[in-house]
Protein backbone atom coordinates (compact mmCIF):
# COMPACT_ATOMS: atom_id res chain seq x y z
CA UNK A 1 0.00 0.00 0.00
CA UNK A 2 1.30 3.46 -0.91
CA UNK A 3 1.61 6.32 1.54
CA UNK A 4 1.28 9.91 0.34
CA UNK A 5 3.18 12.47 2.37
CA UNK A 6 1.43 15.78 2.93
CA UNK A 7 4.76 17.65 3.14
CA UNK A 8 7.91 17.55 1.04
CA UNK A 9 11.03 19.36 2.19
CA UNK A 10 9.05 21.16 4.88
CA UNK A 11 6.53 22.54 2.38
CA UNK A 12 2.98 21.45 1.69
CA UNK A 13 2.82 19.08 -1.26
CA UNK A 14 0.80 21.58 -3.35
CA UNK A 15 3.37 24.33 -2.78
CA UNK A 16 6.27 22.01 -3.55
CA UNK A 17 4.67 20.99 -6.84
CA UNK A 18 3.69 24.57 -7.73
CA UNK A 19 7.29 25.74 -7.28
CA UNK A 20 8.78 23.13 -9.62
CA UNK A 21 10.60 24.86 -12.53
CA UNK A 22 8.43 23.13 -15.15
CA UNK A 23 5.23 24.28 -13.44
CA UNK A 24 6.51 27.86 -13.09
CA UNK A 25 7.54 27.88 -16.78
CA UNK A 26 4.06 26.71 -17.78
CA UNK A 27 2.51 29.45 -15.61
CA UNK A 28 4.80 32.05 -17.22
CA UNK A 29 3.70 30.94 -20.69
CA UNK A 30 0.01 30.94 -19.76
CA UNK A 31 0.34 34.37 -18.13
CA UNK A 32 2.01 35.80 -21.23
CA UNK A 33 -0.61 34.32 -23.59
CA UNK A 34 -3.52 35.68 -21.52
CA UNK A 35 -1.84 39.09 -21.21
CA UNK A 36 -1.23 39.26 -24.98
CA UNK A 37 -4.88 38.40 -25.73
CA UNK A 38 -6.08 40.89 -23.10
CA UNK A 39 -3.90 43.66 -24.56
CA UNK A 40 -5.29 42.96 -28.02
CA UNK A 41 -8.88 43.07 -26.74
CA UNK A 42 -8.21 46.27 -24.78
CA UNK A 43 -6.71 47.98 -27.83
CA UNK A 44 -9.92 47.29 -29.76
CA UNK A 45 -11.92 49.29 -27.18
CA UNK A 46 -9.46 51.93 -26.03
CA UNK A 47 -11.03 55.36 -25.81
CA UNK A 48 -8.71 57.55 -23.75
CA UNK A 49 -5.80 55.17 -23.49
CA UNK A 50 -5.32 55.14 -19.72
CA UNK A 51 -6.04 51.48 -18.94
CA UNK A 52 -3.23 48.97 -19.34
CA UNK A 53 -2.67 45.25 -18.99
CA UNK A 54 0.00 44.31 -16.46
CA UNK A 55 1.58 41.01 -15.52
CA UNK A 56 2.22 40.54 -11.79
CA UNK A 57 4.12 37.67 -10.20
CA UNK A 58 2.92 36.55 -6.80
CA UNK A 59 4.85 34.38 -4.39
CA UNK A 60 3.81 31.32 -6.41
CA UNK A 61 0.99 32.35 -8.73
CA UNK A 62 1.04 34.60 -11.79
CA UNK A 63 -1.59 37.28 -12.42
CA UNK A 64 -2.83 39.33 -15.37
CA UNK A 65 -4.24 42.66 -14.21
CA UNK A 66 -6.38 45.33 -15.86
CA UNK A 67 -4.92 48.55 -14.42
CA UNK A 68 -6.48 52.01 -14.71
CA UNK A 69 -4.64 53.84 -11.93
CA UNK A 70 -3.58 56.66 -14.29
CA UNK A 71 -7.08 57.24 -15.67
CA UNK A 72 -10.46 57.29 -14.01
CA UNK A 73 -9.73 54.21 -11.88
CA UNK A 74 -12.45 52.45 -13.81
CA UNK A 75 -10.93 48.99 -14.28
CA UNK A 76 -13.87 47.33 -12.51
CA UNK A 77 -16.35 49.20 -14.73
CA UNK A 78 -14.36 48.37 -17.85
CA UNK A 79 -14.40 44.67 -17.01
CA UNK A 80 -17.94 44.24 -15.63
CA UNK A 81 -19.82 47.36 -16.75
CA UNK A 82 -21.76 49.79 -14.61
CA UNK A 83 -25.32 50.85 -13.91
CA UNK A 84 -26.62 54.31 -14.68
CA UNK A 85 -25.91 56.78 -11.91
CA UNK A 86 -26.88 60.33 -11.08
CA UNK A 87 -24.25 62.65 -9.64
CA UNK A 88 -24.74 66.07 -8.08
CA UNK A 89 -22.23 68.52 -9.54
CA UNK A 90 -21.42 72.15 -8.91
CA UNK A 91 -21.03 74.59 -11.79
CA UNK A 92 -18.42 77.37 -11.90
CA UNK A 93 -21.10 79.88 -10.96
CA UNK A 94 -21.86 77.95 -7.76
CA UNK A 95 -25.15 76.44 -8.88
CA UNK A 96 -25.70 72.71 -8.57
CA UNK A 97 -27.08 70.36 -11.17
CA UNK A 98 -27.62 66.65 -11.71
CA UNK A 99 -25.40 64.83 -14.17
CA UNK A 100 -26.51 61.45 -15.48
CA UNK A 101 -23.72 58.97 -16.14
CA UNK A 102 -25.14 56.39 -18.53
CA UNK A 103 -24.93 52.66 -17.97
CA UNK A 104 -22.37 50.68 -19.93
CA UNK A 105 -21.90 47.01 -20.59
CA UNK A 106 -18.75 45.33 -19.42
CA UNK A 107 -16.08 44.44 -21.95
CA UNK A 108 -14.92 41.35 -20.02
CA UNK A 109 -11.37 41.88 -21.27
CA UNK A 110 -9.72 39.56 -18.73
CA UNK A 111 -12.49 36.97 -18.75
CA UNK A 112 -12.40 36.65 -22.55
CA UNK A 113 -8.60 36.64 -22.65
CA UNK A 114 -8.49 33.79 -20.13
CA UNK A 115 -11.40 31.92 -21.76
CA UNK A 116 -13.47 32.26 -18.59
CA UNK A 117 -17.26 32.59 -18.57
CA UNK A 118 -18.49 36.18 -18.80
CA UNK A 119 -20.67 36.86 -15.81
CA UNK A 120 -21.34 40.02 -13.94
CA UNK A 121 -20.35 39.96 -10.31
CA UNK A 122 -22.74 40.91 -7.54
CA UNK A 123 -22.56 44.31 -5.92
CA UNK A 124 -19.01 45.20 -4.98
CA UNK A 125 -18.39 47.51 -2.05
CA UNK A 126 -15.07 49.30 -2.12
CA UNK A 127 -14.14 50.96 1.14
Nearest to 109 by CA among 30, 29, 34, 32: 34
Whole-number pLDDT of residue 127: 45
Digitized pLDDT (tens) for each residue of the chain, 127 residues in all: 777 778 887 889 889 999 999 999 999 999 999 999 999 999 998 777 789 999 999 999 999 999 998 777 889 988 999 899 998 999 999 899 999 989 989 999 999 999 998 776 555 554 4
Whole-number pLDDT of residue 124: 52
Whole-number pLDDT of residue 123: 56
State how far the Cα of 127 lies from the Cα of 123, in Å rounded to an integer.
13
Nearest to 37 by CA among 105, 120, 116, 112: 112
State how far the Cα of 106 lies from the Cα of 19, in Å rounded to an integer.
35
pTM for the model stands at 0.75
Whole-number pLDDT of residue 71: 73
Report the greatest alpha carbon distance in the chain.
83
Amino acid sequence: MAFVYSRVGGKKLEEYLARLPGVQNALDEAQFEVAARAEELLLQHRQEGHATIDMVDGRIDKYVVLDDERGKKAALSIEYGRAESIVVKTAKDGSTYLDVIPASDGLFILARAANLPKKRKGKVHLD
